[in-house]
Structure formats: C-alpha cells, structure tokens
Amino acid sequence: MAQDGREKPLQKISEAFKDLATTINSQHSDLEIAPFSHACSLVSPLFSCLGIAFKFAEMDYVAKVNDLAETSKSIATLKIMIDQDIQAKTVRKQGSHTRNLLRVKRGLDMVKVLFEQIIATEGNLLKDAASTSYTQVFAPYHGWVIRKAVAAGMYALPTRSQLMLKLNEDDNSARVQMENYIATSEVVIGYIEKLFNSNELGLDW
C-alpha cells in the first residue's frame, strides 16, 4: 500500500518480479509455482486498466494464472510440473498446466513490450504502444475475429495520463517501476523459455 493508502499496482509487480529474478539468478534452482503465480496475479489489474481491447487477454490470463496457483498446492516447482505433463503426454492438451504456463508467459511478454513502448514513445496516446505489443506477442496466435475485436477496442484505450491515474503513479515513478519490470521479467521469461526449449517443447503453439 502507498503511504496515502492507495494501491500501487506497478510497485507491487516490480517488487514481486525482482524477487523472482533474484531467486532465479542466485539459486540456479527450480522456480516454485506459488511465488511465480502470485507475482503473475499482480499483473492482472494492468489488463483491466487497458479496457476492452485487452479484455480477452485479461480473462484468459487470469484463468491460466488461477490454474497455476491451484497447481502450486500439489506440485512444488515449474520444472516438476512440466516433467509430469511430459510423462503424462498432456503437454499440448487444452487446459494442461504446461500449456497454461505458455499462455501466462505470453501475457508477461506483452506487458514487457507494452512498457518498453510506453517508455520509448512521447505523447498522451497509448494506441501505438498497445498495438505494437499486441501485434508482436498475441496476434500470431489469434484468429481474425479476436484480432478484429482488439483493433476496434484500441480506440477505447485510456490515455497515458488516465492510465497513470488508475495506477496511482506519475510519469517519473511509473517509468522507474516499468524499467524494473522490463529487466526482471526478462530473467523470468528467459527461465521459462529455457524450460520449454530444454525439453524440446517449442514456444510457438
């Protein structure tokens, strides 16, 4: 909580991902599902702040994160979870934990690209930043109907100043938190990609 009692979603996200990155960098061990799914759950409000354009992403992302949170009660680490899916031959099945993890990773990716674009662009409109992040991360996996709906929703995005208001940040404080997330999420995303690639699962499905 902020000192004035208002939530600071960006700060929470930034701190949680810093902890995950520290764990990955220091222990060289498996990442536990519980702290990972908790950190990912803190990202969810960002999607709702972006409005209708990212409604599909929010609903899908929240459902997948909830599955991982539930899974953490019976499976300790992401590596064990993927190993179990491989043994059961369920990796690519609808609803598998591994498939859900890949979808969550894409959500983290999209937010990372979005933050990079927001930092790199001037002006009060978020349309270019949001369009770029969607096109890069999600569009290749979406059918025409969803892509069309997202394109229409882009016109209802909040402005940069409206987004800052929702996040209880100003431009400077937001930039710091966004830069922190970009750096630390890269470590987390890289770790997940390594898990997939070391098991020859690929990332494009």
pLDDT in tens, 76-107: 999 999 999 999 999 999 999 999 999 999 99
Q: Which CATH architecture has domain 9-194?
A: Orthogonal Bundle (1.10)
SS (H, E, C) 9-46: HHHHHHHHHHHHHHHHHHHCCCCEHHHHHHHHHCCHHH
Quick one: pLDDT at residue 4? 52
Distance between CA atoms of residues 126 and 114, nearest Å: 9
Mutual angle of helices 171-198 and 78-88, in 10-degree steps? 40
Is the pLDDT at 29 greater than 80? The verdict is: no
Q: Are 17 and 39 in contact (CB under 8 A)?
A: yes
| β-bridge mates for residue 32, sequence order | 77
The encoded tokens of residue 31 equal 């990442």
What is the chain's mean pLDDT, rounded?
Answer: 93
Asked if 54 and 47 touch (Cβ cutoff 8 Å), the reply is: yes
User: How many angstroms separate the CA atoms of 3 and 167, rounded?
Assistant: 14
Question: Per-residue pLDDT for 5 more than 70?
Answer: no
Residue 27 in this model has a pLDDT that exceeds 80 = no
Contact call for residues 20 and 36 (beta carbons, < 8 A): yes
- Does residue 104 contact residue 60 with C-beta atoms inside 8 Å? no
* pLDDT 10s digits, 120-151: 998 999 999 999 999 999 999 999 999 999 99
Radius of gyration of the chain (CA): 17
Mean pLDDT of 175-201: 97
**pLDDT attached to residue 139:** 94
CA-CA-CA-CA torsion sign (4, 6, 11, 17): positive
